[in-house]
Chains A and B, each alone.
Chain A
Amino acid sequence: MSTATSSLPRTIGAHAVLLTYTVIALFPVIIVIVNSFKSRAAIFGAPLAPPTPKTFDLIGYTTVIGQGDFIHYFQNSLVVTVASLFFVLLFGAMAAFALSEYRFRGNSLMGLYLALGIMIPIRLGTVAILQLMVASGLVNTLTALILVYTAQGLPLAVFILSEFMKQVSDDLKNAGRIDGLSEYTIFFRLVLPLVRPSMATVAVFTMIPIWNDLWFPLILAPSEETKTVTLGAQLFLGQFVTNWNAILAALSLAIMPVLILYVIFSRQLIRGITSGAVK
């Protein structure tokens, strides 16, 4: 992009800053991935060196895959993340639509109440949540995690989405009403496609903390059946011996699904921005 205001030195400067930041941000991730392909001795001998034919070793991955349960942990993480994401987006969008579209008594108070959760960390309620789950017999089920994560993700989703829903043309919704569309059809067919970019943003913000969470799996669902990847990786972190190969391999593998989901959503994001749907 060459505009009248951007000069070459300035462009170089900006790129230098951005590249430096990218390198710093990616450094730990790269180190994890690079070392996951090396033998134990090489990890400690030269942690920054890339794997050579001599130090290349897949022992970490074979350990992780060989540990039959690990695939299962992956599944658990994926189920919990995708299901929570689905409910957060569905209920968040519906609440946001109601708040932005309908005039009813206590509308803004309700909006404030729903957004309050952004400021109050859900972990403060851990003890009560645990008691609740014990009482309802949901301890050691994925349902418990999905419920908690849905609650955790909703405030931000409602807050962001209702801002975007307010921008959807009233005329379009009214045209639908005159053509006899139900409020549900208006919501799902007219409004949701137009706020897709913001849905993608919310999805990314919601998904990453859920996938990475260690706290609630540890407290609510630590059983073998319901372990998530982050919890499963602790397996190799012994009190006396730590299997670094396996940990690094497990972490590298754990990055993949979020990365894939992120790519999917960010493409939606760009497509939504460029399609110019409204006018």
Chain B
Amino acid sequence: MGSLNIENVKKAFGPVEVLKGINLEVTDGEFVVFVGPSGCGKSTLLRVIAGLEDSTSGRVVIDGADVSATPPAKRGIAMVFQTYALYPHLTVKNNMGLGLKQAGTPAAEIDRRIGIASSMLSLEPYLSRRPAELSGGQRQRVAIGRAVVREPKLFLFDEPLSNLDAALRVNTRLEIAQLHRRLKATMIYVTHDQVEAMTLADKIVVLNAGKIEQIGGPMELYNSPANEFVAGFIGSPKMNFVDGARLGETAKTIGVRPEHLTVDAKSGAWKGTVVHAEHLGADTNLYLDCEKAGLITVRIFGVYNAETGATLYATPDPAKTYRFGADGKVLK
């Protein structure tokens, strides 16, 4: 009771094509994350699913029913927005209850659902406050609560954590993950942050310039990216890309993740000088300017002392080196 099918959805704003034919299948209970750089069309796709935007062509099917002509309120969805979007003139309780009231749900049922949602999100002490009297984290929890009480087939989140500070972001992320486990509902979550995508998703959809680059589980995308874009987008720090010709390789580009490089003071494949070192405690990021490979990042687990200007040799793990063709696709 919460499947979603998107069939060849296209969306253009005037002459600008923002979605260029999206096909996607989401099964019941899945947590799917749309990830991609800003402006790639994630929000537009989510708004098309919600019915806030009409697609130029293609079908949106929720639970087997074509909803392309159904208004947002009747699609059985709930949405959480980046800017919280709470009704400023209503109390927390009424903010959560408005949608049900509009749908003609009996008052007792509304109260019951608000009770459950507010205890789930620890919002009970704030029920009679207005949004202006809440902190950012509390506001976003109210917005999530407003979605929960609707008991939707499909939860839609549009960058819900972007306006929160770093500590709150981790907490709220955890809360969303728990919510998903408890409600077993289908959730679609949009973010530009690959860490959020990796930590939350059952399935990640990587979007770029209105097209799907790859669909897969977090580890699948990390271990076997389909192309250069996905390889560079997933993983932090970013994968190193080296011009194949400089290394005497046939592939156009060679990719190796910072964590799949080892360094040694005496010998190795790529000789370079340390440009900068970032000490994070748990790991150390070294930026090396190599003769053959150019500027690369090396991630070393634990503490590693390296002076700026020192000479080091970096060696890639051959089993974890990716080779990309001229079209950006991975070469097997």
B50/A171 in contact, CB under 8 A: no
Query: Given contacts A190-B87, A278-B88, is CB(A180)–CB(B102) below 8 Å?
Result: yes
The contact string, 1 if C-beta is below 8 Å from chain B, for chain A 148-187, is 0000000000000000000001011011111111000000
Alpha-carbon distance between A50 and B157 when the two chains are bound, in angstroms: 69
Alpha-carbon distance between A171 and B72 when the two chains are bound, in angstroms: 13
A22 at the interface (CB under 8 A from B): no
Residues of B78-96 contacting chain A, CB below 8 A: 78-79, 81-89
B98 at the interface (CB under 8 A from A): yes
Query: Given contacts A277-B88, A278-B88, is CB(A179)–CB(B99) below 8 Å?
Result: yes
Alpha-carbon distance between A181 and B100 when the two chains are bound, in angstroms: 11
Determine how close the nearest CB of chain B comes to the CB of A170; give it in whole angstroms. Answer: 9
Residue of A nearest to B79 (CB): A178
The contact string, 1 if C-beta is below 8 Å from chain B, for chain A 239-279, is 00000000000000000000000000000000000011111
B195: chain A residues at CB < 8 Å are none
B78: chain A residues at CB < 8 Å are 178
Residue of A nearest to B74 (CB): A180
Determine how close the nearest CB of chain B comes to the CB of A185; give it in whole angstroms. Answer: 9
A178/B77 in contact, CB under 8 A: yes
Q: Please give the number of chain B residues whose Cβ is less than 8 angstroms from any Cβ of chain A in the complex.
A: 26
Alpha-carbon distance between A253 and B72 when the two chains are bound, in angstroms: 55
A171/B85 in contact, CB under 8 A: yes
A189 at the interface (CB under 8 A from B): yes
Alpha-carbon distance between A11 and B243 when the two chains are bound, in angstroms: 64
Alpha-carbon distance between A267 and B78 when the two chains are bound, in angstroms: 38
Alpha-carbon distance between A153 and B146 when the two chains are bound, in angstroms: 41
A174/B73 in contact, CB under 8 A: no
Secondary structure call for the A interface: helix
Alpha-carbon distance between A276 and B84 when the two chains are bound, in angstroms: 14
B73/A180 in contact, CB under 8 A: yes
Contact with B85, one of A175, A275, A276 (Cβ below 8 angstroms): A175
Alpha-carbon distance between A172 and B146 when the two chains are bound, in angstroms: 13
Determine how close the nearest CB of chain B comes to the CB of A13; give it in whole angstroms. Answer: 38
Alpha-carbon distance between A94 and B94 when the two chains are bound, in angstroms: 26
B52/A179 in contact, CB under 8 A: no
B238: chain A residues at CB < 8 Å are none
Contact with B81, one of A171, A190, A275, A277 (Cβ below 8 angstroms): A171
Q: Which of B82, B87, B89 has the most CB of A within 10 A?
A: B87
B99: chain A residues at CB < 8 Å are 178-180
B77: chain A residues at CB < 8 Å are 178
B132 at the interface (CB under 8 A from A): yes
B102/A178 in contact, CB under 8 A: no
Residue of A nearest to B152 (CB): A178
A190: chain B residues at CB < 8 Å are 87
B73: chain A residues at CB < 8 Å are 177-180
A181: chain B residues at CB < 8 Å are 98, 102
Using a CB–CB cutoff of 8 Å, the interface residues on chain A facing chain B are 169, 171-172, 174-181, 189-190, 193-194, 275-279
Give me 15 other A-B pairs in contact (C-beta within 8 A), A169-B83, A172-B87 excluded.
A171-B158, A174-B81, A175-B81, A175-B86, A177-B71, A177-B73, A178-B72, A179-B99, A180-B99, A180-B103, A189-B87, A193-B89, A275-B132, A278-B83, A278-B88
List 9 tightest A-B contacts by C-beta distance, closest first: A180-B73, A179-B99, A180-B102, A171-B85, A171-B81, A175-B85, A277-B88, A172-B85, A171-B83
11 contacts between A and B (CB under 8 A): A171-B85, A171-B158, A172-B87, A175-B86, A178-B77, A180-B73, A180-B99, A193-B88, A275-B132, A277-B132, A279-B83
